[in-house]
Structure 1
Amino acid sequence: MDQDAFVMPIDGVLDLHTFRPQEVTDLVHEYITACRARSIFSVRIIHGKGTGTLRRTVHAALSRSHLVASFRLAGEDAGGWGATLVELVKD
């Protein structure tokens, strides 16, 4: 087992604050795949507000995924424009 491996809980909330920007595209795909395997179809991705670069990267990855039915910025009660709410395809 890789000593640097990080075990992330699959609970429908992905907080990207601890990840490097170059990891985000693959991470988003792997996370939503893992959520669907656990019958989690509503996901919240926290990318932060910042300059918007990470949000754009997340949205680009989501728009290319056949696993995503829809996504939108969260309401103020769920992180506002610092988070994205994703609905996954249920098959």
Structure 2
Amino acid sequence: MIRVEPVRVQVRADWFDGRPREITWNDQRVPVTAVVGVRDETSAFPAVSGPRTIFDVQTPLARMTLTYRHRTGRWAIEGVDEVDRAA
């Protein structure tokens, strides 16, 4: 996983459980095929940035680390790992 400078994106999330379903990034819609992991940081967080939830998701293009910041209600991509095209 390559850590990147956080990039703001729009995310469509499931109405009931809040899991990401689709990422819109640079006018390109990318479906989320699987949620690999979820890390809830609402109890222990830096006071400056506020609570957040981190989702590791799989898409047809890459595996991504998405962050949802509860204080601002914004989504960002913080890590990208390209899918191996040969596999």
> By the TM > 0.5 criterion, same fold?
no
TM range (shorter): under 0.3
TM-score relative to the length of structure 1:
0.27
